[in-house]
Amino acid sequence: MRRGRTEAAPQRARPSIQEMKDLAQRALETAVAQGASYADVRALRVRQRYLSTKNGEVAQVRESESFGLGVRVIAGGAWGFASTDRLTPEGLDAVAARAVEIAQASALAKKSDVQLAPEEKFVDEWEAPCQIDPFSVPVSRCLDLLLKVDAELRKVQGVTLAECQMDFRRQEQWFVSSLGSAIRQVKTQTGAGFVATSFAGNEIQRRSYPNSFGGQYQTKGYELVEELDLVGHAPQIAEEAVALHSAPQCPAGVRDIILGSSQVGLQIHESIGHPIELDRVLGTEANFAGMSFLTLDQLGSLKYASEIVSVVADATPSHGPGLGTFAYDDEGVPGQRTPIIQNGLFVGYLTSRETAAAIGKPRSNGAMRAEGWNRIPLIRMTNVSLEPGRGTLDALIADTDDAIYMETNRSWSIDDRRYNFQFGTEIGWEIKHGKKARMVKNPSYGGITTEFWNSCDAICGPEEWTLWGTPNCGKGQPMQTMGTGHGASPARFRRVKVGVAYGS
Amino acid sequence: MTMMLTRQRAKEIFDKVIKYSTAEETEAYITSTASALTRFANNTIHQNVAEEETALSVRAVVEHRTARASTNRLDEPSIRQTCEAALALARLQPPNPDLLPLPHPQTYGSVDRYYPETAELTPKARAETVLSVLQRAEKDQLTAAGVYSSGAVATALFNSRGLEAFHEETISEFSVTMLGPTSSGWAKQTSPFHLELNTAALAERAARKALEGGSPRDLPPDKYTVILEPSAVLDLLGFLFFDFGGLAVHEGRSCLTGRVDEKVFGDNIFVRDDVFHPLQSGPPFDGEGMPRRRVNLVEQGVVKNLVYARSTAKKMGKEPTGHGFPLPNEYGEAPLNIVMEGGRATLDDMIRSTPRGLLVTRFWYIREVDPYQKILTGMTRDGLFWIEEGKIQHGVKNLRFNQSVIEMLRQVEMMGPPQRTAGEESFEMVVPAMKVREFNFSSATKY
């Protein structure tokens, strides 16, 4: 690239597509030659850019690139995995041999040989739709936009901290396996959002748009930023952050509630998405992430939710540009649409090839994903989404006599079997006689997962449905962070305990 | 496995950075990791992984602007392109008049945290240790799950004013959950030296908790006296100490805004940040290469000092304490080598002195409910026991708490000796076990 004041994104040294595949293939062949009965290799290049502003100034401008390769094997009937960024012939041979050596160590403590559900061979390429490459958008243009939002936020008296951000990630991956599969996938992910904080007296209040903890994230390009209209939403969000100080405390007691769609999305994530992970159910996450109340005997018999509730786990591109959208998972299994809850009945788990075999399923439903080249795939949520119901949010409010409407998550916590939960939101309003009445601050609610979902009596329609992205889902040891998708509309729940976080 | 990054190798990489960087000032942050983790569940090793990586991060400063670019490709063209990317990104932003020039060379206190035996621990050795833990589980028909990890990390920070900082340390961790039909127990330890991990004792402790906590009973949520084991203390306090950053107070996002020099906690609370403490870990320099100083944060319940990165110190008229994060960042700084004074009470002393109360092994899924009152919520996990008349009586089904951690530190009745403690929700610290009155539980779960 040219030196000096350029607006173009710098071009970086990068291996070619063919070079990446050749590296992966060499590591695969070495692993098999070393004694692996099954092997798969993922070679990845990940590029990230993060931009943020704070109180009128640029806070962070950073970019990173990571390239490496991970070898996963079964040898001696047990699992081994090794990864490296040393992409020389010696580095590749060493990492493949280490993966096999590790598997042989695992075999010292095996009870039985690892069994995988059958899978077909795929030779394919897939690129997630991306209209505007976010790395091609000049950094100065991105910062100008964030600073414009920042200025709008700080125009409102009482806003003490304005924070805005954009986050871009592109991942290019080759997957090759000893089944003969060779799959190339390219995904671009964009995130953006802002937070207004107001400190006054002895209270900190915050409002975020379009969601808390980084904003909205999807598998698409810079077009997401344009769709969000960050500048247009800034004044109202800033005013709400300040107004919360003078709003009354959310009342405590048993009340009907309506949740905004992003909060329904997080409720799905924590109290449906995690408990349906079959590895948790089978105990392999017991030391860290925990287990699940959805024991195998519940499948097909548990009334998880009321009859109007249907939930799918859908990785297919037709579901939309979610963070859980892909063509193949990181075991080479095609992305699928799996019913999870059908009219209230619990009907499906998320599986890997190994866990599918363990419960006698003929095939995995393709939920294995790894954070990067240095991690093994784990069962992760794809897009676990609530099917839309009918009508607008305004119509739902008009149909509600006495309730509290809660919007935008502030805190979230759930037990290690995903049963007892408590959520707080940034803001709430009382609903009285079909109308949004006064604002309340510090709303919170809690309950037991199945009791809560069985109390759902209204879900808004497709016009209110948003495919939310949760970019920060943690699981595994070593820890992996993964993005998951959750389509949701606002929904009403009857007789829920509210105000639980502040009651004493 | 062997350590890949030496001071010499880091210097060679930095020399190339300097060769190619045309920024006014340049900083290079080079990190290297070689680690492995053996994971077990259902009394078998089900995951077993290893990784190695060396990454270069270049920060360019030009005309009061700064930006960072990183890569793990260390060939000359990649280093050159990373330098150019950092400079180009810096130039694409408006100037920040408050941006400081890079620091001059510094001197650092010494810490010795590298054990070659731990860096080179083999998968076979880890598997054999795990196997003995699985045998302990099976002796009592328990199911074990956990991790045994080992490895090494090296960090080098160089800048164009001649600053040079290098730190290497080994890491090891053992964590075990023992599951019975209706109960579970947990124990965890970390150390730079894996032979300090008492894996057999940890397995025994987790097994005893699982066995003694069987058939847990319901307990109505209420305010109870609690005895918090060190891991439970740690995971709560992890949500407090980021508020001791100067910038967090300056910007009004800390619960200590307006409370510095005030008595915020009880008389018996003393906390300092001390990277040189023998039970602490990490490098003796911060993200800009400033030497970490010992800082007394809380004395007799009074918030005495905050920590300051260079730019925060300038803003607030203080001296930098060496607690800054790598630049650029939004957060400023935080004390990450917390040492809390304790007392002399053993857990048994605390239990014996308790007419009615609960023993808490650990907490789980802790989140902040209110940032200024510092109310946290979360669940108990893997060993909650009812105490009556100075004795443990039986296991209790897990409870949810909503408790201000500030209030909690005004209600500490007894403390044990501080120890190196690991949890799952916080960075590691040196903290004691505590007996606390009127800890607020708000609901129960069903197991």
Domain check: are A225 and A290 in the same one? no
Cα separation, A423 vs A433, in Å, equals: 25
Answer whether B366 touches A (CB < 8 Å). yes
8 Å CB contact of A416 and B364: yes
Domain check: are A280 and A359 in the same one? yes
Residue B210 lies in a domain: no
Instruction: Output the domain CATH number for residue A98.
Output: 3.30.2290.10
Closest partner residue to A111 among B43, B84, B258, by Cβ? B43
Cα separation, A292 vs B379, in Å, equals: 15
The distance of Cα A130 from the centroid of its chain, to the nearest Å, equals 19
Among A216, A246, A276, the domain boundary falls at: A246
Sign of CA dihedral B39, B41, B43, B44: negative
Residue A273 lies in a domain: yes
Q: Euclidean distance between the first and final Cα of chain A, in Å?
A: 62
8 Å CB contact of A85 and B424: no
DSSP letters spanning B173-204: EEEEEEE-SS-EEEEEEEESSGGG--HHHHHH
Closest partner residue to A59 among B253, B330, B375, by Cβ? B330
8 Å CB contact of A287 and B147: yes
Domain check: are B127 and B259 in the same one? no
Find chain B residues with C-beta within 8 A of A374's C-beta.
51, 53
8 Å CB contact of B48 and A78: yes
Domain check: are B41 and B188 in the same one? yes
Among B132, B166, B200, the domain boundary falls at: B200
Comparing C-alpha atoms, which of A243, A409, A163 is closest to residue B248?
A163
Closest partner residue to B375 among A59, A78, A501, by Cβ? A501
Find chain B residues with C-beta within 8 A of A244's C-beta.
none
8 Å CB contact of B368 and A81: no
Counted across chains A and B, CB pairs separated by less than 8 A come out at 308
Helical (H) or strand (E) element with A346: strand A345-346
Domain check: are B164 and B223 in the same one? no
SS3 B156: strand
Q: How many CB atoms lie within 10 A of CB A229?
A: 11
Q: What is the DSSP letter of B376?
A: E
By CA distance, what is A69's nearest residue in B?
A: B51
Task: Give the pLDDT band (50/70/90) at residue A2.
Answer: very low
Half-sphere exposure of B76 (CA within 13 A, CB side): 4
SS3 A262: helix
The distance of Cα B394 from the centroid of its chain, to the nearest Å, equals 32
Residue A10 lies in a domain: no
Answer whether B179 touches A (CB < 8 Å). yes
Domain check: are A264 and A207 in the same one? no
Domain check: are A217 and A334 in the same one? no
Q: Where are the alpha helices (DSSP H) in B299-373?
A: 310-316, 347-352
Domain check: are B90 and B233 in the same one? no
Helices (H) and strands (E) in chain B, counts: 10, 19
Cα separation, A162 vs A143, in Å, equals: 14
Report in angstroms the alpha-carbon separations of B203 from A156, B58, B177: 57, 44, 8
8 Å CB contact of A13 and B75: yes
3-state secondary structure A432-496: ECCEEEEEEECCEEEEEHHHHHHCEEEECCHHHCEEEEEEEEEECCCCEEEEEEEEECCEEEEEE
Taking CA B33 as the corner, what is the angle to CA B30 and CA B36, rounded to the nearest 5 degrees?
175
Mutation target vs A (from B27, B184, B379, B403; most A CBs, 10 A cutoff) = B379
Find chain A residues with C-beta within 8 A of B406's C-beta.
none
Find chain B residues with C-beta within 8 A of A416's C-beta.
364-365, 379, 381
Task: Give the pLDDT band (50/70/90) at residue A14.
Answer: low
Mutation target vs B (from A106, A146, A150; most B CBs, 10 A cutoff) = A106
Domain check: are B222 and B282 in the same one? yes
Report in angstroms the alpha-carbon separations of A164 from A132, B80, B247: 21, 31, 17
Q: Could you tell me if B134 and A109 are in contact, meaning their C-beta atoms sit under 8 angstroms apart?
A: yes
Q: Which residue has the tokens 């050795």?
A: B125
Domain check: are A444 and A410 in the same one? yes
pLDDT in tens, A362-417: 999 999 999 999 999 999 999 999 999 999 999 999 999 999 999 999 999 999 99
Its domain, for residue B25, covers 7-200
Q: Indicate left, alpha or beta for B215 from its phi (over 0: left) and psi (-120 to 50: alpha).
A: left
Q: How many CB atoms lie within 10 A of CB A84?
A: 24
How do beta strands B375-388 and B399-404 pair? antiparallel
Which tokens go with A187? 């995904």
Q: Which residue has the tokens 């924070």?
A: A163
Cα separation, A362 vs A356, in Å, equals: 7
Residue A149 lies in a domain: yes
Find chain B residues with C-beta within 8 A of A52's C-beta.
330
Cα separation, A143 vs A166, in Å, equals: 9
Residue A213 lies in a domain: yes
pLDDT in tens, A302-330: 999 999 999 999 999 999 999 999 999 99
The residues facing A466 across adjacent strands are A488
Residue B137 lies in a domain: yes
Find chain B residues with C-beta within 8 A of A196's C-beta.
none
Q: Could you tell me if A185 and A170 are in contact, meaning their C-beta atoms sit under 8 angstroms apart?
A: no
Residue B1 lies in a domain: no
Closest CA of chain B from A35, distance in Å: 17
Residue B208 lies in a domain: no
Among B146, B171, B200, the domain boundary falls at: B200
Which tokens go with B197? 């991990």
Closest CA of chain A from B447, distance in Å: 9
8 Å CB contact of A199 and B444: no
Among A197, A217, A246, the domain boundary falls at: A246
The dihedrals phi and psi of B438, each to the nearest 5 degrees, come to: 55, 50
Q: Could you tell me if B285 and B106 are in contact, meaning their C-beta atoms sit under 8 angstroms apart?
A: yes
pLDDT at A7: 38
Its domain, for residue A220, covers 17-246
Closest partner residue to B379 among A106, A416, A478, by Cβ? A416
Domain check: are A187 and A62 in the same one? yes
Domain check: are B222 and B196 in the same one? no
Taking CA A327 as the corner, what is the angle to CA A312 and CA A187, rounded to the nearest 5 degrees?
105
Where chain B has pLDDT below 70, the residues are 1-3
Domain check: are B165 and B245 in the same one? no
Average pLDDT over all residues of chain A: 96
Domain check: are B194 and B223 in the same one? no
pLDDT at B2: 47
Closest partner residue to B85 among A10, A284, A286, by Cβ? A10
Closest partner residue to A79 among B47, B89, B257, by Cβ? B47
Domain check: are A367 and A461 in the same one? yes
Mutation target vs A (from B3, B72, B219; most A CBs, 10 A cutoff) = B72
Omega before A478 within 30 of 0, i.e. cis: yes
Omega before B328 within 30 of 0, i.e. cis: yes
Answer whether B13 touches A (CB < 8 Å). no
Closest partner residue to B73 among A6, A13, A444, by Cβ? A13
Helical (H) or strand (E) element with B4: none
pLDDT in tens, A403-460: 999 999 999 999 999 999 999 999 999 999 999 999 999 999 999 999 999 999 999 9
Half-sphere exposure of A93 (CA within 13 A, CB side): 4
The dihedrals phi and psi of A189, each to the nearest 5 degrees, come to: -125, 135
Find chain B residues with C-beta within 8 A of A419's C-beta.
445-447
By CA distance, what is B1's nearest residue in A?
A: A98
Comparing C-alpha atoms, which of A90, A119, A118, A95 is closest to residue A43?
A95
SS3 A420: strand
By CA distance, what is B32's nearest residue in A?
A: A85
8 Å CB contact of A419 and B447: yes
Domain check: are B162 and B243 in the same one? no
Domain check: are A312 and A330 in the same one? yes
8 Å CB contact of A64 and B130: no
Residues in chain A: 504
Q: How many CB atoms lie within 10 A of CB A119?
A: 18
Instruction: Output the domain CATH number for residue B19.
Output: 3.30.2290.10
Domain check: are A257 and A222 in the same one? no
Q: Could you tell me if A428 and A405 are in contact, meaning their C-beta atoms sit under 8 angstroms apart?
A: yes
Among A246, A264, A287, the domain boundary falls at: A246
Which tokens go with B87? 């400079």
Question: Total structural domains in chain B?
Answer: 2
Residue A5 lies in a domain: no
Residue A179 lies in a domain: yes
Residue B14 lies in a domain: yes
Domain check: are B136 and B278 in the same one? no
Q: Over 90: is that where the pLDDT of A4 sits? A: no
Report in angstroms the alpha-carbon separations of B43 from A294, B188, B194, B332: 21, 17, 22, 44
How do beta strands A123-127 and B338-340 pair? unpaired
Answer whether B55 touches A (CB < 8 Å). yes
Cα separation, B378 vs B70, in Å, equals: 36
pTM: 0.96
Omega before A210 within 30 of 0, i.e. cis: yes
Closest partner residue to A5 among B82, B91, B131, by Cβ? B91
The residues facing B124 across adjacent strands are none
List the 265-324 stretch of B: residues with Cβ below 8 A of A: none
Report helix, strand and coil shares of chain A as percent, to nearest 5: 25, 40, 35
Q: Over 80: is that where the pLDDT of A504 sits? A: no
pLDDT at A8: 39
Cα separation, B383 vs B229, in Å, equals: 11
Closest partner residue to A419 among B149, B370, B445, by Cβ? B445
Which tokens go with A452? 């809560």
By CA distance, what is A284's nearest residue in B?
A: B41
Domain check: are A101 and A188 in the same one? yes
Show Cβ contacts of residue A33 under 8 Å, excluding neighbours closer than 6 positions: none
The dihedrals phi and psi of A267, each to the nearest 5 degrees, come to: -60, -40
pLDDT in tens, A108-118: 999 999 999 99
Q: Over 60: is that where the pLDDT of A3 sits? A: no
Cα separation, B241 vs B249, in Å, equals: 12
Domain check: are B323 and B371 in the same one? yes
DSSP letters spanning A154-213: HTSTT--EEEEEEEEEEEEEEEEETTS-EEEEEEEEEEEEEEEEEEETTEEEEEEES-ST
8 Å CB contact of B179 and A283: yes
Find chain B residues with C-beta within 8 A of A109's C-beta.
40, 44-45, 127, 130-131, 134
Answer whether B105 touches A (CB < 8 Å). no
Q: Could you tell me if B148 and B121 are in contact, meaning their C-beta atoms sit under 8 angstroms apart?
A: no
Domain check: are A22 and A134 in the same one? yes
Find chain A residues with C-beta within 8 A of B46's C-beta.
79, 106, 284
Mean pLDDT of A87-103: 96
8 Å CB contact of A413 and B53: no
Higher pLDDT, A15 or A422: A422
Residues in chain B: 447
Question: Total structural domains in chain A?
Answer: 2
Q: Where are the alpha helices (DSSP H) in B45-176?
A: 76-91, 116-119, 123-139
Mutation target vs A (from B367, B381, B411; most A CBs, 10 A cutoff) = B367
Which tokens go with A85? 């960024």
Q: Could you tell me if B392 and B386 are in contact, meaning their C-beta atoms sit under 8 angstroms apart?
A: yes
Residue B32 lies in a domain: yes
Find chain A residues with C-beta within 8 A of B137's C-beta.
none
Taking CA A143 as the corner, what is the angle to CA A138 and CA A149, rounded to the nearest 5 degrees?
135
Answer whether B99 touches A (CB < 8 Å). no
pLDDT at A13: 52
Which tokens go with B95? 């100037």
Show Cβ contacts of residue A29 under 8 Å, excluding neighbours closer than 6 positions: none
Domain check: are A435 and A492 in the same one? yes
Among B142, B176, B200, the domain boundary falls at: B200
Closest partner residue to A103 among B48, B91, B251, by Cβ? B48
Residue B306 lies in a domain: yes
The dihedrals phi and psi of B299, each to the nearest 5 degrees, come to: -125, 125
Find chain B residues with C-beta within 8 A of A44's C-beta.
none
Residues A32/A65/A184/A88 CA torsion (nearest 10 deg): -30
Domain check: are B195 and B242 in the same one? no
Q: Indicate left, alpha or beta for A211 from its phi (over 0: left) and psi (-120 to 50: alpha).
A: beta
